[in-house]
Amino acid sequence: MDSVCIGVDVGGTNLRCALVTPGGVLLRRESQATAISSGSASFLARLLLVLNRLKGEAEASGMRVVAAGLGVPGLISNQGVLHSSVNLLPLQGLNLARAVSTGTGLPVVALNDANASAIGEQRFGAGKPYRSSLMLTIGTGVGAGLILDGRLWTGVDGVAGEFGHITVEPNGRPCGCGNRGCLEQYVSATAISACAAGDPRDGRSPEAAAVAARALQGNPESAGIFEQAGSYLGIAAAGVVNLLNLEAIILGGGVARSFELLAAPMRREISARAFAIPGARVRILRGELGDDAGVLGAAATAFDTASFEKAGS
- The reply to whether 109 and 218 lie within a common domain is no
Can you give the pLDDT at residue 120?
98
Instruction: State which residues form the domain around 152.
Output: 128-286
Query: Do 89 and 127 meet the contact criterion of CB atoms below 8 Å apart?
Result: no
CA-nearest of 51, 85, 86 to 69 is 51
For 259-300, what is each residue's pLDDT tens digit? 999 999 999 999 999 999 999 999 999 999 999 999 999 999
Q: How many whole angstroms from its chain centre is CA 39?
A: 23
Beta-strand relationship, 108-112 and 82-84 = unpaired
- Could you tell me the CATH number of the domain that includes residue 95? 3.30.420.40
- The reply to whether 80 and 144 lie within a common domain is no
- The reply to whether 250 and 107 lie within a common domain is no
Residue 123 lies inside a defined structural domain of this protein:
no
Does 12 have pLDDT greater than 80? no
Does 204 have pLDDT greater than 70? no
Whether pTM exceeds 0.75 = yes
Can you give the pLDDT at residue 200?
38
CA distance 20 to 69: 11
Does 248 have pLDDT greater than 90? yes
- The reply to whether 49 and 32 lie within a common domain is yes
List Cα–Cα distances, 202 to 94, 190, 217, 308, in angstroms. 41, 15, 16, 54
For 228-247, what is each residue's pLDDT tens digit? 999 999 999 999 999 999 99
- The reply to whether 154 and 229 lie within a common domain is yes
Question: CB count, 10 Å around CB of 269?
Answer: 19
CA distance 183 to 204: 23
CA distance 238 to 257: 22
Count of domains in the chain? 2
Residue 262 lies inside a defined structural domain of this protein:
yes
Residue 122 lies inside a defined structural domain of this protein:
no
Does 195 have pLDDT greater than 60? yes
Can you give the pLDDT at residue 308?
55
